[in-house]
């Protein structure tokens, strides 16, 4: 039987892949919609009626569906201005503080976005555009992506407290 930590890792990897794929699909859809809108505007003089509204509904979902993967792989922005002068103990402390603050921010985003998504679904919220379309799927996708990023960040924070060696490894990688 697999340990719960291994099951969580497997679930995170599985969700990261699914969410990453969905994010890619949304980005491709926005590119196609944008291209069709530009071609339509230049050829016929008329833009696609819902291009801007649809793209603005899809963008937040696309970004946050990919957020868990970025958090998991460390592909986010890190300010390393003072890392060269920090001792390993100070590096560990600042890394833990940064992850803690990140967890708080992601918790707030997750909580708030789920509240909005549930309300949006309950009222069948639709975009006010030339052609109406439901926007609650985008809000649910945003909330799911923020929640996965929170789970990954909490797991990373927990690992920092459990494994001193991992923190030393992070400090070494940053300095190199």
Greater model confidence, 117 or 11 = 117
Q: Quick check: helix, strand or coil at residue 78?
A: coil
Asked if residue 32 lies in contact with residue 113, where contact means CB atoms within 8 angstroms, the answer is no
105-114, 115-124, 127-136, 166-175: segment of lowest average pLDDT: 166-175
User: Mean of the per-residue pLDDT values for the chain?
Assistant: 87
How confident is the model over 81-103, as a mean pLDDT?
Answer: 86
Q: Does residue 167 have a pLDDT over 60?
A: no
Integer CA distances (angstroms), 50 to 46, 53, 126, 163, 176, in order: 12, 5, 12, 50, 48
Whether pTM > 0.75 for this model: the answer is yes
* pLDDT value for 176: 55
Banded pLDDT at 5 (limits 50, 70, 90): low
Provide, rounded to the nearest whole percent, the portion of the chain with pLDDT above 70: 90
Banded pLDDT at 94 (limits 50, 70, 90): confident
Cα distance between residue 154 and residue 148, in whole Å: 10
Q: Does residue 90 have a pLDDT over 90?
A: no
Cα distance between residue 68 and residue 64, in whole Å: 7
**pLDDT digit string (tens) for 20-69?**
999 999 999 999 999 999 999 999 988 888 888 999 999 999 999 999 99
Greater model confidence, 59 or 91 = 59
* pLDDT value for 130: 80
Q: Does residue 111 have a pLDDT over 60?
A: yes
Cα distance between residue 59 and residue 170, in whole Å: 32
* pLDDT value for 170: 60
């Amino acid at each position: 039987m697999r340990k719960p930590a291994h099951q969580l890792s497997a679930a995170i990897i599985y969700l990261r892949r699914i969410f990453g794929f969905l994010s890619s699909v949304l980005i491709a859809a926005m590119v196609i919609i944008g291209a069709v809108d530009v071609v339509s505007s230049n050829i016929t003089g008329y833009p696609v009626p819902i291009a801007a509204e649809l793209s603005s509904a899809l963008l937040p979902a696309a970004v946050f569906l990919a957020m868990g993967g970025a958090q998991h792989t460390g592909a986010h922005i890190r300010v390393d201005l003072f890392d060269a002068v920090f001792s390993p103990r100070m590096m560990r402390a600042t890394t833990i503080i940064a992850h803690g603050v990140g967890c708080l921010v992601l918790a707030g985003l997750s909580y708030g976005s789920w509240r909005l998504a549930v309300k949006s679904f309950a009222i069948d919220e639709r975009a006010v555009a030339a052609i109406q379309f439901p926007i609650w799927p985008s809000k649910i996708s945003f909330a799911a992506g923020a929640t996965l990023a929170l789970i990954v960040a909490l797991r990373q924070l927990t690992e920092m407290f459990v494994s001193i060696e991992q923190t030393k490894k992070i400090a070494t990688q940053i300095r190199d």
